[in-house]
Amino acid sequence: MRKVAALEAKNRFGELLNAAQREPVTIEKHGKAVAVVLSTEDYQDFEALKLARLRGEIQTGLDDIAAGRIVDLETAFADARAAIDELPG
């Protein structure tokens, strides 16, 4: 993936758009990635993958309900809190 400084992206915007048609381009500000520019086709593919994953998760949940594999609300919240507590930061 190509990396470009924000000032360069601003000054060479047309070239940035052309480059994004070939591969995603990371825009950095003060050496830190702040944005990614990608083609419309890549973006649509990304959104389709997210939607497919979400549909799969929903179907798994529906299958669990249909099979009687359910958790009470209190247990679900306790599990969620525990998972949050394990997150870095």
Task: Indicate the pTM of the whole model.
Answer: 0.67
pLDDT at site 72: 85
Residue 69 main-chain phi, psi, to 5 deg: -90, 85
CA-to-CA separations, 82 to 70, 71, 73, in angstroms, rounded: 18, 15, 14
Which domains does the chain possess?
Answer: 2-38 (3.40.1620.10), 42-85 (no CATH)
pLDDT at site 88: 86
pLDDT tens by residue, 23-81: 999 999 999 999 999 999 999 999 999 999 999 999 999 999 999 988 888 988 999 99
